[in-house]
Structure 1
């Protein structure tokens, strides 16, 4: 069987997949590559759990409303309203950073309150304190992703996700094995990765003009 026939058969197979399959793969891809864990497998998992529960999870929960509002608005052909909804969602999520930060800055006290070891609580607080400035970048990336996904634009998320994970792995290697910065280095590398993810996707949207039809 020649190559064109193989390509045609692959294309037919892909069309048999559910329409939401690609979007689900993107979401799983963005969550299923814990590069930091590969480098910090001996580090307590409490700081990452705290950030997920009181930070990232809240961001995804609030942004879930965009799946309904933006997709329906886009489907109705009201493209400028998509931009308005995106702006409002961005403002709401950035304001949501404040209560999230208020909880996360007390990570050590909360862990001590539930009888965790003092050293574990201290290390967790160090990690959270350094990683905390990345919370706005995480929330902005979530909104950027929703903005594209609900218009059926997927590949920019794949491309920026691959680039950001490569940068994350490189930054972790430099901070942990070259500079020997330990937990502080891992948190700094992850912070850099989150900002690179948000900025890269923003620049892609900006220079590819993916916003022009929906932005007044």
Structure 2
């Protein structure tokens, strides 16, 4: 839900409405912290919910205990994510990376100390996760309070409580758009558990999904970069620069994805052994490598196009696109090919590729057909409507 800030903060920064960045961040805090309250009950009753869906008593017990200990992290992330977007919109990336690097080093040491050396086990892991997340929140917020963001942070304001409903709608659209993408891959692994030789299928698919996940982490860098650039340029009324930025990052991401796909294809006989000692799993991963390579290429461009959508504020429309491409095309096709035509895990993956390919094509068509001058005008209207000059002038009157 915090991804709404990528649109609003980025466009406000581009338009020179720096004072609204802090207000937008506070609005997002209000919405996300409120959302945490119902989500918290999922943590509290995790044991009962896991038992309800058929998990074993031991897994349910320990997962439920871990969930309760992790409640502070839920609220820390609700504060952290808007701070990330607030800083990203101003291209203050180095400080975020430095704080994260310190957090990782502290996390590694104290996790070893609490979990292994002192024998706190699962509770020690939860304590350190909470501490690490809150360290990042406090460090980033202290950086903001230090005056490094200039007019972007003018302290807490009652304007944060204005026009919350419009903010909620964009936040929900952002959440639906991103959750539908994330759940899509998780659902495919779930379905693989019902195939013949399910353990081998799930192992092989999980290995491939992890590799795709690692590649996507890099693609998410392109996603964040183009989201910030598009929103900044549209907010500043520079549609041609926004269009050129999209072209540059799209070509760069495709080149990167193609290079990684070639590396996987060349090393397809060697890399499966890094993940599993089972010859059956290695063989299946080898057979899946061409599909994995195609997924890597698609998933290098797709997050980039999603970043363009977020920067321009198209979340609601893209959410509908994701529903159709993933859940009307991809999953049904994967189930038909995997189970009806006995293609197994390959059939499920063909369906996934079809869904991702369809979504990528639709987003590409949207970007190509976009009237960037019109988008710049819409960005200006959005800034005024949701807290820019118009709201300020009204308040002064």
| Both structures adopt the same fold (TM-score exceeding 0.5) | yes
Post-superposition offset of 1:212? 4.7
Structure 1 residue 86 corresponds to structure 2 residue 238: no
How far 1:93 sits from its partner (Å)?
0.2
User: Once the two structures are superposed, what CA deviation does each residue of 1:59-81 show, in whole Å capped at 9, x if it has no partner?
Assistant: 12233211322221111110111
Instruction: Note if 1:38 corresponds to 2:190.
Output: yes
Measure the CA separation in 2 of the matches of 1:137 and 1:29. 17
CA distance in 2, matches of 1:16, 1:80: 28
| Deviation readout 1:87-136 (Å, 9 max, x if unpaired) | 00001001101331134222551231455222212212222322322333
Equivalent-residue separation in structure 2 for 1:25 and 1:88 (angstroms): 28
Gaps of 5+ in 2: 1-162, 376-397
Match of residue 229 from structure 2 = 69
Higher relative contact order by CA 8 Å / sep ≥ 6: 1 or 2? 1
Q: 2:339, 2:262 → 1: CA distance?
A: 32
Contact 2:262–2:293 (Cα < 8 Å) also in 1: no
Asked if the contact 1:26/1:157 (under 8 Å) is kept, the reply is: yes
Using the TM superposition, name which of 170-179 and 33-42 deviates more.
Answer: 33-42
Query: Is 1:197 aligned with 2:349?
Result: no
**Matching of residue 186 in structure 1 with residue 348 in structure 2:** yes
Distance 1:159 1:193, change over 3 A: same
Alpha-carbon displacement from aligned partner over 1:26-85 (angstroms, at most 9, x marks no partner): 2233212333123212321111111211x3222122332113222211111101111000
Residues of 1 paired with 2:257 and 2:169: CA distance? 35
The residue aligned with 1:17 is 168
1:174 lines up with 2:336 in the alignment: yes
Matched, 1:164 2:316: no
CA contact (8 A) 2:276 2:282 kept: no
Cα-Cα RMSD? 2.6
1:185 & 1:47 partners in 2: Cα distance? 15
Question: For the residues of structure 2 that align with 1:121 and 1:56, how far apart are their CA atoms?
Answer: 23
Q: Is the 8 A contact 1:175 1:181 kept in 2?
A: yes
CA distance in 2, matches of 1:134, 1:50: 10
Matches within 5 A, 1:198-213: 198-204=360-366, 209-213=369-373
Superposed CA deviations along residues 145-178 of structure 1, whole A, max 9, x for unmatched, are 2222111221221111001122111111211111
CA–CA distance in structure 2, aligned partners of residues 111 and 119 of structure 1: 10
Pairing 1:100–2:260 present: yes
Does the 8 A contact of 1:59 with 1:142 survive in 2?
A: yes
1:121/1:36 CA distance change after superposition, 3 Å:
same
Contact 1:47 1:125 (8 Å CA) reproduced: no
User: SS at 1:191's partner residue?
Assistant: helix
1:26 aligns with 2:177: yes
TM-score in terms of structure 1 length: 0.80
In structure 1, what is the equivalent of residue 213 of structure 2? 52
- The offset of 1:142, in angstroms, is 1.9
1:129 aligned residue (274, 290, 298): 290
Partner Cα separation in structure 2 for residue 145 and residue 32 of structure 1: 16
